[in-house]
């Protein structure tokens, strides 16, 4: 489906709900956040969440460094062949660093587990994880987020950084595409 077709989108989390939860999450994270923590935003999906979270962490008194890694997971909807690749790497040495990995969604867990293993393999001292949405229905790897904003139903969501066929990342809210037939409006 392309954006030109103007599908009906049902809002799941509106702007106010997202802002309130991101603020709450930042307060939770800031409680025991190391001074020199390195926040690593996993692109592309987490770019809006990470930008909002970082500013909320600042308001909560945190002083993080920031990095970005672009990971691509192929076949993450299949049960066995999910493979994560580094499309663009960080250029900071993580040896002995405290890391907070930030992603939009934890679904199979492969992306986050890959990033966590990678940072430990590179000598990180401690790696914590933070996601906007926890979708546990198709978990393939034994991983739980240390911090999360929402438990999400088993739905394909778009907006607030998350895409469907490269579109909709710009939506300021999170929603689901509703078929015309299912929509009363
Ligand atoms: P996984 O945990 O490795 O299965 O993959 C999580 C990644 O899959 C997320 O970072 C998203 O990029 C993508 N993803 C999973 N569910 C959705 C969704 O509902 N909408 C958009 N992207 C999704
Ligand atoms: Mg992603």
Residues near 76 by beta carbon (within 8 Å), at least 6 away in sequence:
82, 107, 108, 110, 111
Q: Whose Cα sits closest to atom 19 in ligand 1?
A: 156
What is the structure's pLDDT at 13? 98
Beta strands in the chain, from DSSP E residues, in sequence order: 8-13, 38-43, 65-74, 83-88, 98-106, 126-134, 147-151, 174-178
From first to last of the 185 residues of the chain, give the pLDDT tens digit: 555 567 899 999 999 999 999 999 999 999 999 999 999 999 999 999 999 999 999 999 999 999 999 999 875 454 445 789 999 999 999 999 999 999 999 999 999 999 999 999 999 999 999 999 999 999 999 999 999 999 999 999 999 999 999 999 999 999 999 975 554 44
What is the structure's pLDDT at 68? 98
The model's pTM: 0.92
Ligand found nearest the CA of 135: 1
Q: Whose Cα sits closest to atom 17 in ligand 1?
A: 156
Domains of the chain as residue ranges with CATH: 8-73+82-184 (3.40.50.2020)
Q: At 8, phi and psi to the nearest 5? A: -80, 130
Rounded to the nearest whole angstrom, what is the distance from the C-alpha of residue 157 to the centroid of ligand 2?
A: 12
Contact residues of ligand 1, CB 6 A cut-off: 45, 73, 76, 103-112, 135, 156-157, 162
Q: Whose Cα sits closest to atom 13 in ligand 1?
A: 105
Give per-residue burial for 123-140: e unless 16+ CB within 10 Å, then b.
Answer: ebeebbbbbbbbbeeeee
What is the structure's pLDDT at 58? 97
What is the structure's pLDDT at 181? 53
Residue among 107, 138, 144, 153 to mutate when testing ligand 1 (max atoms within 8 A of CB): 107
């Amino acid at each position: 489906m392309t954006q030109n077709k103007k599908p009906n989108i049902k809002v799941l989390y509106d702007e106010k709900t997202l802002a309130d939860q991101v603020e709450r999450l930042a307060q939770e994270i800031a409680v025991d956040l190391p001074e020199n923590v390195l926040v690593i935003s996993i692109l592309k999906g987490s770019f809006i969440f990470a930008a909002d979270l970082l500013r909320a962490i600042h308001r909560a008194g945190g002083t993080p460094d920031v990095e970005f890694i672009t990971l691509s997971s192929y076949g993450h909807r299949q049960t066995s062949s999910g493979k994560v690749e580094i499309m663009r790497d960080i250029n900071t040495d993580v040896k002995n660093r405290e890391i907070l990995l930030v992603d939009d969604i934890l679904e199979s867990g492969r992306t986050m587990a890959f990033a966590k293993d990678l940072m430990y393999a590179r000598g990180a001292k401690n790696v914590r994880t933070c996601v906007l949405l926890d979708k546990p229905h198709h978990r393939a790897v034994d991983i739980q987020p240390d911090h999360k904003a929402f438990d999400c139903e088993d739905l394909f969501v778009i907006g607030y950084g998350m895409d469907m066929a490269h579109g909709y990342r710009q939506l300021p809210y999170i929603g689901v595409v509703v078929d015309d037939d299912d929509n009363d409006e």
